[in-house]
């Protein structure tokens, strides 16, 4: 039975349960423009206050998935992906995609740009000269098939209902709804034609969810709905109480990823999270006998240089320099002002206001305050000190890469304010708190 949009809104406003066909009607009307912005805003607010059951979340996610093109793949291996809820120094995708591809998976990763204080994978790839982050669909398919991995941006015809709904949520204070976050993330992933998905749900001072309990609720929703919609999915809760990598920015994180893939730098926390997420993907794709086997395969792909080879092939196939891995410093923009930021006193790093570190990168020009703002790929922070590390005259809190002396000094003040330094011994929490599987 067809219902008017206002009747669908009324039913949810009054605490009723929506039938899948009514949710599909509403989303179809949203996509076609028959549903007004006021009606969409009311629908989102009704969901915000009344919530959705798991079957309703599945129906909303499927309706948004079907609002545009749904990709299908004919490949000799499983089609897998990873999605992060965002953080500071979260460079994992750059290494994970090629590592999983080196183990026999196919990774058509559709990534986003920076949001708020968090860096965007797409902005990092934009720092590579010539790399096409928004290729046509045929190129995306060809590179995925031939290389095993293609990291690009969302195309306009994948889950277009999500783009319109998100824009309205953004200005109506309904962004935080776990039901709507779940449908937004998963509709795009389902439209990509995946056969396995791992969610990296972050918590802490640099994450959108600042505590583990809220992150767990989101992870459980994502896993339940994705599996309910037919996409095998698991999630890891990972710590974002400090930057994951010691670099935050665009070109500086790209350089960090190359150093990681080539073995020049292997920081423990970053490596742990990258290996564990990658291993989860191999398990979902049935590319390993057990989790220990999966970890060993990923470790070998990285240590042997196979992941670096896949990365280079992907960069070349998408228009970037053919010698990027060997000569990335030649191709990446470098900021003209590079300065060390020292703490006001020597001591041990006790805690980090990680969100403020991300905001400092945005203020340098490495992120956006408005969607239309350009990105300065050269600026950022490197050598970020970790919790438990001693800082003194020889070991700074960070190195600032800036366009001007004034910008560098402003960033230095922000970094000093974000770090708490004391005399007590300190150590970070575990990088991975727990795994949430389909039985959650």
Instruction: Quote the CA–CA distance of 315 and 120 in Å, as a whole number.
Output: 17
| Torsion 274-213-228-3 (CA) sign | negative
Distance CA 276, CA 422 (A): 32
Query: Residue 55: CB partners within 8 Å, gap ≥ 6?
Result: 20, 228
189 catalytic per annotation:
yes
Torsion sign, CA atoms 263, 88, 236, 75: negative
Is 121 a known active-site residue?
yes
8 Å CB contact between 404 and 386: no
Q: E strand or H helix at 381, and its extent?
A: strand 380-382
The full DSSP string for 64-76 is HHTTS-------S
Sign of CA pseudo-dihedral 65, 70, 71, 73: positive
Find where tokens 């046509």 sit.
Answer: 136
**Residues 250, 90 contacting (CB under 8 angstroms):** no
Q: Of these residues, 12, 164, 169, 216, which one is catalytic?
A: 169
Mark whether 84 is an active-site residue: yes
Task: Check 61, 184, 187, 382 and give the catalytic one.
Answer: 184
Closest CA to 150 of 133, 167, 164, 166: 133
Any residues with CB less than 8 A from the CB of 138 and at least 6 apart, and which? none
Residue 431 annotated among the catalytic residues of the structure: no
Catalytic residue among 22, 61, 81, 246: 81
Q: Is 13 exposed, middle or buried (0-12, 13-18, 19+ CB in 10 A)?
A: middle
| Bridge partners for 178 per DSSP | none
Catalytic residue among 117, 189, 295, 355: 189
Active site residue: 31, 84, 91, 234, which one?
Answer: 84
C-beta of residue 249 within 8 angstroms of C-beta of residue 167:
no
Token code pair at residue 7: 């009747």
**234 has catalytic annotation:** no
Active-site entry in 12, 22, 83, 328: 83
Q: Which of 57, 188, 328, 342 is catalytic?
A: 188
Residue 31 forms beta bridges with which residues? none
CA atoms within 13 A on the CB side of 335: 28
Neighbours of 330 (CB within 10 A): 11
Task: Give the C-alpha separation, 318 to 406, whole Å.
Answer: 37
Options 12, 57, 82, 141, the catalytic residue? 82
Q: Which residue among 61, 67, 121, 431 is the active-site one? A: 121
Residue 82 is a catalytic residue = yes
H/E element, 124 = helix 121-126
Catalytic positions: 81-84, 121, 169, 184, 188-189
């Amino acid at each position: 039975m067809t219902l008017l949009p206002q009747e669908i809104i009324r039913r949810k406003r009054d605490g009723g349960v929506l039938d899948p066909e009514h949710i599909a009607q509403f989303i179809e009307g949203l996509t076609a423009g028959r549903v007004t912005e006021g009606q969409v805003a009311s629908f989102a607010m009704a969901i915000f206050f009344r919530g959705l059951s798991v079957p309703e979340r599945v129906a909303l996610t499927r309706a948004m998935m079907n609002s545009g093109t749904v990709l299908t793949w004919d490949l000799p291996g499983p089609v897998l992906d990873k999605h992060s809820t965002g953080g500071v120094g979260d460079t994992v995708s750059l290494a994970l995609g090629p590592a999983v591809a080196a183990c026999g998976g196919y990774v058509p990763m559709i990534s986003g740009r920076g949001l708020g204080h968090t860096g965007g994978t797409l902005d990092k790839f934009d720092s590579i000269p010539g790399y096409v982050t928004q290729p046509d669909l045929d190129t995306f398919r060809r590179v995925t098939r031939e290389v095993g991995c293609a990291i690009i941006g969302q195309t306009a015809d994948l889950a277009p209902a999500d783009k319109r709904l998100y824009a309205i949520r953004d200005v109506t204070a309904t962004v935080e709804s776990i039901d709507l976050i779940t449908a937004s993330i998963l509709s795009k992933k389902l439209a990509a034609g995946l056969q396995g998905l791992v969610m990296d749900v972050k918590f802490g001072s640099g994450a959108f969810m600042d505590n583990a309990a809220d992150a767990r609720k989101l992870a459980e929703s994502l896993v339940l709905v994705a599996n309910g919609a037919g996409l095998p999915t698991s999630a890891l809760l990972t710590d974002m109480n400090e930057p994951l990598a010691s670099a935050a920015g665009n070109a500086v994180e790209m350089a960090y990823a190359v150093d990681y893939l080539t073995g020049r730098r292997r920081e423990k926390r970053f490596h742990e999270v990258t290996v564990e997420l990658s291993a989860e993907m191999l398990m979902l794709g049935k590319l390993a006998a057990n989790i220990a086997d999966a970890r060993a395969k990923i470790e070998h792909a990285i240590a042997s240089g196979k992941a670096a080879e896949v990365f280079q092939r992907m960069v070349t196939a998408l228009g970037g320099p053919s010698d990027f891995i060997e000569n990335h410093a030649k191709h990446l923009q470098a900021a003209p002002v590079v300065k060390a930021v020292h703490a006001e006193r020597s001591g041990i790093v006790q805690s980090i206001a990680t969100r403020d570190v991300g905001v400092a990168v945005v203020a340098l020009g490495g992120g956006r305050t408005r969607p239309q703002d350009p990105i300065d790929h050269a600026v950022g922070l490197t050598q970020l000190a970790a919790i438990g590390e001693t800082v003194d005259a020889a070991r700074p809190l960070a190195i600032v890469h800036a366009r001007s002396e004034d910008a560098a000094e402003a960033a230095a003040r922000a970094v000093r304010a974000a770090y708490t330094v004391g005399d007590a011994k300190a150590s970070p929490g575990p990088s991975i708190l727990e795994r949430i599987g389909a039985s959650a």
